[in-house]
Structure 1
């Protein structure tokens, strides 16, 4: 007879599993999703920071992507020129189509966090094609490079799903 595993059914159960975990192995995940529906949008790449608990539960503590600041007109402007950008978490980033997960050393983890702090305190200009600015895949590539990972050429000129898939293949 197969062993039965009780699945936590409440937020309190999940919190208790997290709090009582003997070990929390940190990871950095490089994620990408296709554009939902037939919008013609390029999709999105972003970076996740989290821990894997001793019971195998994966907890994403932060998901960060680089976006045009302000939305609306700024999103359209980002296609044709540079606009203000911002590093932020958005609800759409709880789903992805491809993931490269890395279990970093302490120094790699700190290097990744350092890139995030730099982009948070002084966000570069955003441009969808990263010609006169940077885009979401360039952010992911800078985090990966700081960690010493192999990074494909041209992160800003590829669809996010293509870029993260290529990075996954070479690491």
Structure 2
């Protein structure tokens, strides 16, 4: 096979992987689930794996911080991987080749009408500090976004994996990714293998 033929084949593979997550439609917003670890019963630290609706197939990211006595977030932070532009052009190009990325807040991340699925895990302060260190490391080292190879699901999955969780395929739609992440891990595993999550 010629170089040109290999190039076309790789392009088709990348397009197929990128489009694999676009084959289903989002459903109405999923309920908000909250889990605790054995060390977090009296703690107000949390990380929330969240997806939101968008004009495309959506976005996956994490929200983290502390809650007040009623469970409301206090000055939450957001981390998620997305193209470094408000233009749709890098997003489209990123389905073929890696494009520059940023790893912070994006428009709509904390707006309730856009939330499509979420799973909040309450953490002890020590657990929380460990997760935040991993998030900061990912933010410092995640420079590119590519729809099939390293997308918002992959970034969020790396956070979850650092906590000892199993992670679903990154080609899923964001709503399905977050839902499956919770279903695969709730009540089974937690931020360290010796601790068990229980739904509350």
TM-score by length of 1: 0.73
Could you tell me which runs of 5 or more consecutive residues in structure 1 were left unpaired when the two chains were aligned. Answer: 1-22
Residue in structure 1 matching 2:117, options 87, 90, 98: 98
What residue is the counterpart of 1:57 in the other structure?
A: 72
Equivalent residues of 2:99, 2:144 under 8 A apart: yes
- The offset of 1:149, in angstroms, is 2.4
What residue is the counterpart of 2:45 in the other structure?
A: 26
What residue is the counterpart of 1:168 in the other structure?
A: 182
Residues 76 and 32 (structure 1), Cα distance of their counterparts in 2 relative to 1, 3 Å cut: same
> Using the alignment, how far apart are the partners of 1:129 and 1:60 within structure 2?
33
> Using the alignment, how far apart are the partners of 2:57 and 2:125 within structure 1?
33
What residue is the counterpart of 1:70 in the other structure?
A: 85
- The offset of 1:60, in angstroms, is 5.1
RMSD of Structure 2 on Structure 1 (CA): 2.0
Residues 43 and 55 (structure 1), Cα distance of their counterparts in 2 relative to 1, 3 Å cut: closer
Equivalent residues of 1:46, 1:65 under 8 A apart: yes
Equivalent residues of 2:44, 2:123 under 8 A apart: no
What residue is the counterpart of 2:101 in the other structure?
A: 85
1:150 has 2:166 as partner: yes
- The offset of 1:52, in angstroms, is 2.1
Relative contact order (C-alpha < 8 Å, sep 6+): which is higher? 2
Residues 115 and 105 (structure 1), Cα distance of their counterparts in 2 relative to 1, 3 Å cut: same
- The offset of 1:126, in angstroms, is 0.7
CA deviations 1:13-35 (Å, max 9, x no partner) are xxxxxxxxxx8610000000122
Residue in structure 1 matching 2:142, options 123, 147, 153: 123
> Using the alignment, how far apart are the partners of 1:56 and 1:122 within structure 2?
32
For these two proteins, the number of residue pairs brought into alignment is 140
Residue in structure 2 matching 1:48, options 63, 72, 81: 63
TM-score by length of 2: 0.63
Equivalent residues of 2:145, 2:151 under 8 A apart: yes
Greater shift after overlay, 87-96 or 57-66? Answer: 57-66
